[in-house]
Amino acid sequence: MNSLDQLSDQFINYLVVEKGLSKNTIAAYSRDLILYLEFLRTNNITNIARSDTTLVLKHLIELRDAGLGPRSRARHLVTLRGFYRFLVQEKILETNPAQMVDLPKAGQKLPDVLKVDDVLRLLDAPDPSKPLGARDSAMLELLYAAGLRVSELTGVRIADINLEACFVRVLGKGSKERVVPIGMAAKERIEAYLASARSALLKGRPSSHLFVTRLAKPMTRQGFWKLLKQYTLKAGISQKITPHTLRHSFATHLLERGADLRSVQVMLGHVDISTTQIYTHVAQERLKEVHTEYHPRG
């Protein structure tokens, strides 16, 4: 029997090579496994064949007692199920002890979204007369127009944008590619950025990335996060927002205006439509607010 660390490494390598999962997902799996392997060693388990369902349950209870919420524990259990499923697949174990453990129950948390007026104020916050402002204006507009993840936004290359047809090609989770329409507003702001601002930032230096810094480096997720905070303050938005808030807002605003769920699923790059269905709840909540506010008997 291989050591616990060797088995963990084999599993992570399997996720990278054969499953093609994103870096963030791989990192989450790795963190969960490190915690679990430490737990096994603490319980004097050095042979994975000696682990069982009782141990998996004990581990989840310890995580709960340490303050880990239901969603985090559910994700942790998903990691353990996958790990043991891999070991069964590789003929290292005969059964999966985590398979019979139920996922922790969690209330459905609705994603935070911005009202349309707040989005418009945020999109107008950068100063497009300056190179950095033109870049930031184009980035914010594209993020909201196409409902991108921030990693997808910063990864967009010049070759991925088709301004004539108004679409962007992005590489999503698990290296899955999708094509998303971007609309006229995003097209115009990207065109304005490409007209002079991008070359002013590059100063003759080459880059295949659409959005670059003054050092001619690709914009990073962390860099964009800082910019978003600055523009949120400038726009006078008190609500705490993240880059994902604009993605949530994109989906919710589409559904509020009559888009069908399947189309939104495709644009977001969700494999399972159940992931997209959360936004229908947001739209329903918004309709309730409108009814309460404007109906004479609300």
Please identify every residue annotated as catalytic: 149, 173, 244, 247, 270, 279
Chain-centroid distance of CA 143 in Å reads 12
Provide the 10 A C-beta neighbour count for residue 24.
12
The type of residue at 293 is E
- How far is C-alpha 70 from the chain's CA centre? 19
- Contact residues for 222 (Cβ-Cβ < 8 A; gap 6+): none
- The angle that helices 243-256 and 116-123 make with each other, rounded to 10 degrees, is 130
- Tokens matching residue 232: 């949120």
CB-facing half-sphere around the CA of 257: CA atoms within 13 A: 9
Rounded to an integer, what is the distance from CA 73 to the centroid of its chain? Answer: 19
* Strand-pair partners of 169: 179
Q: How far apart are CA 281 and CA 287, in angstroms?
A: 10
Bridge-based pairing state of the strands 161-162 and 167-171 = antiparallel
The CA distances from residue 96 to 4, 19, 37, 75, 104, in Å, are 16, 19, 16, 17, 18
Distance CA 233, CA 125 (A): 9
156 within 8 A of 209, measured Cβ to Cβ: yes
Contact, 113 vs 248, CB < 8 A? Answer: yes
DSSP 165: T
What's the CA gap between 104 and 153, in Å, rounded?
33
